[in-house]
Amino acid sequence: MQNTVISPSVPPEIRNGSIPHPRPLPLCLSSPDHHLGRSALSAAVSSLAASPNHLPAVRSLVAPLVMSKRHVPHAISLFGLAGLLDDAAEAFRSSPSLFSLNALLFACILSNNHKQADEMVRKDVKPNLTTFSIALSGFYREELFSDVKKVLWLMKKNGRHAGLSIYNARIQSLCKLGRPEEAKELLREMRPRGMKPSWVTYDHLILGYCSVGNLEEAKRLFKEMGRKQLVPQSSCYFSLIYYLCRNGDFGSALEICRRVWTRIGCLFSTMKMLVDGLVGTLQVKEARELVEKVKGKFFRNMELWNKIEEALPK
């Protein structure tokens, strides 16, 4: 079977210089499956969307993708990036599929408009868990809680049971809204259903409690995470250390740092905040030990650490 070749179509706004022309763009339009090509197209659409009277240029750039069924989901996402939801919906209608449906919901989120989401009901396409996860994240972000309930109802109607990925998406969304207590209720709801939370679940909750200033609960969840032998990514450690330092709890921050610093690496700004905090609370010995350990293990920013060490009180 012969592959569909998409010919380059560069909008006049790029050709005449009013929008910067990414040099590889024509090649990327010919090879939209490559991740670099997709990135270049997204960058071009973002540039065009920020300019006045951008609509014809975006349509000209994305139109070739709509001609190929396998590239329709990407075209829908790009239309959403430019705020062209009508074009995204039209592209979906031209080639309805599960991937296109997911892309349409993603386009709704990108353009902060969820009116087109009811396409999933009108079209004969059965959504999967990715579809529902995208929809839930978007409705939570816009605080459309009645629509969240509709999506959960629609999941039951389509025989889709909320698994760990759905719970994690809901917990993350609530934590981003500054509602970690509601997110923790979902954690409690998981247990009777036999679902075990992952490190991702705890990561969202810890950051959620940190962001609202409830560091005691964040520390409790962090310890619970350790008891369950769940190992988070380094970003979780650094976030917790950062918020503890910002709240003046340098002892707890140092304790966490001592336990995991050989595994998580060294984020200069956070480590410096901890060193400065230790010095400010007259824990100079601990600050010096931390600097020495960082210098002995990591060679990045060595000159800066040397200066910090020299400035420590004797």
The domain of 278 spans 250-314
- What DSSP character marks residue 70? G
In a domain, 298, yes or no: yes
Tens-digit pLDDT profile for residues 150-196: 777 777 777 777 788 889 889 998 999 999 999 999 999 998 888 99
In a domain, 232, yes or no: no
| C-alpha distances in Å from residue 4, one per residue of 31, 32, 97 | 10, 11, 19
In a domain, 164, yes or no: no
In a domain, 167, yes or no: no
Tens-digit pLDDT profile for residues 198-248: 999 999 999 999 999 999 999 999 999 989 999 888 888 889 999 999 999
In a domain, 216, yes or no: no
In a domain, 161, yes or no: no
Per the structure, the count of domains in the chain is 1
In a domain, 140, yes or no: no
121-143 burial, b at 16+ Cβ within 10 Å, e below that, comes to: eebebebebbbbbbbbbbbbeee
- Global pTM exceeds 0.75: no
Tens-digit pLDDT profile for residues 125-137: 566 777 777 777 7
Q: What angle do CA 255, 259, 260 make, to 5 degrees?
A: 120
In a domain, 292, yes or no: yes
Distance of alpha carbon 19 from its chain centroid, rounded? 28
